[in-house]
Structure 1
Amino acid sequence: MREASEIPDTEAPSFSTEIEIDGLCFRVHLGGPTGPLELETTAGEHFRLRPWGFDAHLRALDQHTRVDAAGRTFDSEGFARDVLRDSGVPESKFDELAPLALWWASGGARSGPVPARLRPWTYSERSRALEESVVSRPDGTRELSLDRYLRAMLQASVVTLEAPGATLSALDGPSTAALLEEVVALNQGGERVEDQTVKSAGREARALAQITLRLCKALGWTPSQVWATPAAEVDRLLALLQLTEPPTPAPAPAPVSRRPRLSDFPDAVVIQVEDR
């Protein structure tokens, strides 16, 4: 179980400053820890971005992330448009304000740790989440609802949010993004070289799988424990197992092929033909 993982705190003081994103300058003012963002463009136009919350963040991720055989793609422009649309910004300003919307939704200038107690989810929890997150479309195709899947992952992995009165649904978007990053990293576990070897399915992969499963079965270890053990210790363990494990029975010899004989057919009728 991982303790004291940090996600941004909303209890940050108000501030006013100028920022530059993708060559565009804005004057911004954050009015309080949970207040909106007041912004002014270089042309003197004023806009207000509402706080971006947990539910809106997950819905937007679901809407603008696609996962298929080619990998994962994220439509950042579509995501930014959702942030701006949520605040009632005119569509004519979407292109100009999209970089600021992404900055705002991903954390803005909010900072400060909020401790959370996390744990990796189990295989059965992940399998159930996958099953419950696949939805059928009107055309008969099926796709993964990222919103449902991420909610299930957070509910399984977040043991407690240790800030007073904190709940998942009450998190703002930046805190949600930071917490998701922590939880996803925790549940991925980090790919090792051995993982890549096993996926290759070649001779080396089969040898590694046999040794790994043999040690896991004998010692009650996980594959990660086996792979993290010094090579010399693995050699010692395999030598000990070789001495103590019962020998593998030799395979029975294959039957020798031969021509069928009359004795193989006890019900056969023998007709004897004689010369007269």
Structure 2
Amino acid sequence: MREASEIPDTEAPSFSTEIEIDGLCFRVHLGGPTGPLELETTAGEHFRLRPWGFDAHLRALDQHTRVDAAGRTFDSEGFARDVLRDSGVPESKFDELAPLALWWASGGARSGPVPARLRPWTYSERSRALEESVVSRPDGTRELSLDRYLRAMLQASVVTLEPPGATLSALDGPSTAALLEEVVALNQGGERVEDQTVKSAGREARALAQITLRLCKALGWTPSQVWATPAAEVDRLLALLQLTEPPTPAPAPAPVSRRPRLSDFPDAVVIQVEDR
């Protein structure tokens, strides 16, 4: 997120102020929490950025984000240009105003979380979203539609919005950005040290996996519940399981190697040749 100087509370009807973004100063006039942003260039020209909405925000994220085996890359300049283009700003001003446009669209004029009740999405919901978000390109390759994927995530994780009756599609861009940040953080769950251990795939990882799955199976817990349990309690649980679980059957002895006998082949035909 780009850093900007603090501005007054945008709940006020409207006001003019000067903000600093990445060391650049911009003179702006904010038209309230849901109004447009009027700005002034260094040459004294005035432009107005229209409110940036939910659909436009997701489409621009989809257009300017690439996800592949190497990770995720985001074209912030391309995103900012879409914001400026949406408001009819001349392309000759894109370079100068791109930092301000990105700040405006990503929630710079908004403070605080979006009032909403959230829940983590389930494994099946995430799997279905992935399946339905992979699209085929004209060259035959397949890629993830981030627009579809993020919409599915929000629809699954946002239980209610405030005020009552509010809908996702009615959110402005800054609110969309803030809500996405909350929902993505919620669904990532935060990586634990144990997650890193399991990914190492070494001897310690196998031992942790065996104990974790053993307790999950016995108690109906999730791995996070097992890992959050005090060590002494885990020791007690393992001791109780050792007493109550049926012993693991001993492996069957390996067959003794011997030379084959005629009796091993009941269908064999014996031809006897005698000298006369």
Q: TM-score band (shorter)?
A: over 0.9
Q: What CA distance in whole angstroms lies between the structure 2 residues aligned with 1:29 and 1:135?
A: 41
1:142-199 CA deviation, whole Å, 9 max, x = no partner?
A: 0000000000000000000021432100000000000000000111101111111111
1:19-71 CA deviation, whole Å, 9 max, x = no partner?
A: 12233222100123321111112321111111011000000000000010000
**Contact 1:198–1:209 under 8 Å retained in 2:** yes
Mean Cα deviation higher: 22-31 or 118-127: 22-31
| 5+ residue gaps, structure 1 | none
Cα distance change on mapping 1:78 and 1:226 into 2, 3 Å: same
Shift of 1:13: 3.2
Cα distance change on mapping 1:206 and 1:242 into 2, 3 Å: same
1:64-89 CA deviation, whole Å, 9 max, x = no partner?
A: 00010000000000000000000000
Instruction: Report what 2:92 is aligned to.
Output: 92
Q: What CA distance in whole angstroms lies between the structure 1 residues aligned with 2:119 and 2:246?
A: 39
**Contact 1:125–1:156 under 8 Å retained in 2:** yes
SS in 1 for 2:56: helix
Cα distance change on mapping 1:177 and 1:214 into 2, 3 Å: same
**Contact 1:117–1:160 under 8 Å retained in 2:** yes
SS in 1 for 2:4: strand
Cα distance change on mapping 1:3 and 1:46 into 2, 3 Å: closer
**Contact 2:113–2:178 under 8 Å retained in 1:** no
Mean Cα deviation higher: 100-109 or 87-96: 100-109
- State the identity %: 100
Shift of 1:273: 3.6
**Contact 1:198–1:205 under 8 Å retained in 2:** yes
Instruction: Report what 1:194 is aligned to.
Output: 194
Cα distance change on mapping 1:47 and 1:7 into 2, 3 Å: closer
Cα distance change on mapping 1:259 and 1:21 into 2, 3 Å: same
Cα distance change on mapping 1:219 and 1:115 into 2, 3 Å: same
Shift of 1:93: 0.6
Cα distance change on mapping 1:216 and 1:4 into 2, 3 Å: farther
Bigger relative contact order, structure 1 or 2, given CA contacts below 8 A and separation 6+? 1
**Contact 1:7–1:113 under 8 Å retained in 2:** no
Shift of 1:99: 0.4
Cα distance change on mapping 1:46 and 1:9 into 2, 3 Å: closer
Cα distance change on mapping 1:5 and 1:225 into 2, 3 Å: farther
| 5+ residue gaps, structure 2 | none
Shift of 1:267: 2.4
1:125-149 CA deviation, whole Å, 9 max, x = no partner?
A: 1111000000000000000000000
Shift of 1:270: 2.6
**Contact 1:16–1:27 under 8 Å retained in 2:** yes
**Contact 1:119–1:159 under 8 Å retained in 2:** yes
Cα distance change on mapping 1:210 and 1:145 into 2, 3 Å: same
Shift of 1:2: 28
Cα distance change on mapping 1:219 and 1:61 into 2, 3 Å: same
Q: What CA distance in whole angstroms lies between the structure 1 residues aligned with 2:273 and 2:267?
A: 19
Cα distance change on mapping 1:164 and 1:11 into 2, 3 Å: farther
Cα distance change on mapping 1:9 and 1:200 into 2, 3 Å: farther
Misfit runs of 4+, over 6 Å: 1-10
Q: What CA distance in whole angstroms lies between the structure 2 residues aligned with 1:204 and 1:7?
A: 51
Mean Cα deviation higher: 156-165 or 125-134: 156-165
How many corresponding residue pairs?
276
Q: What CA distance in whole angstroms lies between the structure 2 residues aligned with 1:28 and 1:199?
A: 49
Q: What CA distance in whole angstroms lies between the structure 2 residues aligned with 1:142 and 1:188?
A: 24
Shift of 1:265: 1.4
Cα distance change on mapping 1:12 and 1:204 into 2, 3 Å: farther
Q: What CA distance in whole angstroms lies between the structure 1 residues aligned with 2:106 and 2:254?
A: 67
SS in 2 for 1:7: coil
